[in-house]
Amino acid sequence: MTQDDIRSMKDEIAYIKALAEEGRRTPLIGGGILIAAGLIFGLASVIHWLIQIDVLSVAPVAYAVIWVGAMALFSACLVFLIGRSKGRPGAASLVNQAVGAAWMGVGLLIFVMSISIAVISWRTQNPILTFLFPSMIFAAYGSGWAVSAAMSKARWQWNLAIGAWAAAPALAFLVNTDWIWLAYAAGLFAFALVPGLILVRQEPAEVV
């Protein structure tokens, strides 16, 4: 191998390294999805809590209407927001691709497990598993934030990951109480809505 070949190889390695470092500094795109999730499902949880404490007097079928409606509304927002973010500068960066894939996995996990819990509750005629849902959500959110923190090198996101993981067993202590749904709403605002707003504010007009 000649000196020119070695120099060329070093230049290529340096170029690839520079691209990786540049991509790591690319602001994360997708804060709008977190805002939608935190706001929609957080409000749904507050309404659920208001029914539980008899502030709202409605038929039992209202619970299904609230959560199915929230899922439908979020799905519509998700399609719009994903389509909107695809053409944005920086969307194709390694960091955004990896973080987007991680959160997609989190979303699919939540969707599949929510259906599974609903089916088991219906088959057993026992709603106790529905109380597992909030803990499951925050366990999944913790994983999503951990991947995002590792890829973006944003230390503040590690705090979100640890906080979400801690919230999962903490909510388990509220099983069979009405307060679990209010606490769940607070967690959604803390681990989805607020950080989503932060990410949106960090998105510049032009992304490297």
Average pLDDT, the chain: 85
Quote the CA–CA distance of 128 and 170 in Å, as a whole number.
17
The mean pLDDT of 200-208, rounded to a whole number, is 65
Q: Are 34 and 190 in contact (CB under 8 A)?
A: no
Six-digit token string for 117:
């819990």
Helices (H), the chain: 3-24, 31-52, 61-86, 94-124, 132-152, 155-172, 179-188, 194-202
Confidence of residue 90 (pLDDT cuts 50, 70, 90): low
Residue of 157, 131, 118, 127 whose CA lies nearest to 27: 157
How far the first Cα of the chain sits from its last, in Å, is 36
Write down the residue that tokens 């809505």 correspond to: 193
The mean pLDDT of 169-184, rounded to a whole number, is 93
Q: Output the pLDDT for position 207.
A: 43
pLDDT(19) > 50: no
Confidence of residue 25 (pLDDT cuts 50, 70, 90): low
The mean pLDDT of 156-185, rounded to a whole number, is 95
What is the residue type of 165? W
Confidence of residue 208 (pLDDT cuts 50, 70, 90): very low
Quote the CA–CA distance of 149 and 24 in Å, as a whole number.
11
Per-residue pLDDT reduced to its tens digit, 58-83? 998 899 899 999 999 999 999 999 88
